[in-house]
Amino acid sequence: MKNTTTAETKKRYYEKNKDVILQKQKIYRLEHPEISRNSARRRRTRLMKSEVEFYTEKEVLEKYGTDCHICNEPIDLTAPRWTGHYRWKKSLHIDHLIPISLGGSDTLENVRPAHGFCNVSKGAKIKEG
């Protein structure tokens, strides 16, 4: 009998069950959007070799309030966040004051609540004023 490592066994299992695994991952991401967003954001920050700190959207809202830091209008916390939905423009996005792509950290001090549209319009720029 051939002696195999755990990594080889996992790789064979993945190749054999790839479609099922990918479908389960997709369902998990849909059912847990905040966890998925946090994970993706932390990964991007680590790739940029910037500081990462765990925080929740609830902590951001408690510290900075529920108004958009860009336009100072209230954020609709019930609005869906995906851009295909007609209400996404007033939904909650977490904006980095110094974007991750420009070397900003992913810490509570570097993020603020923003409207989806304001955040997307701002892009990877540092907010003036």
Number of H helices, E strands in the chain: 5, 2
Q: Where are the domains of the chain?
A: 32-122
Q: What is the pLDDT of residue 128?
A: 66
> Do residues 54 and 48 touch, judged by C-beta distance below 8 A?
no
Q: What is the pLDDT of residue 91?
A: 94
Report pTM. 0.70
Q: What is the pLDDT of residue 108?
A: 94
Q: Which fold has domain 32-122?
A: DNA Binding (I), subunit A (1.10.30)
> pLDDT tens, position by position, for the chain (129 residues)?
466 788 899 999 999 999 999 999 999 988 988 888 888 888 888 888 888 888 888 999 999 999 999 999 999 999 988 778 888 999 999 999 999 888 889 999 999 999 999 999 988 888 765
Say which residues have a Cβ less than 8 Å from residue 45's Cβ, sequence separation at least 6: 51, 52, 100, 105, 106
Inter-helix orientation angle 18-31/33-47, to 10°: 100
Q: What separation in angstroms does the CA of 82 have from each of 91, 114, 116?
A: 9, 14, 9
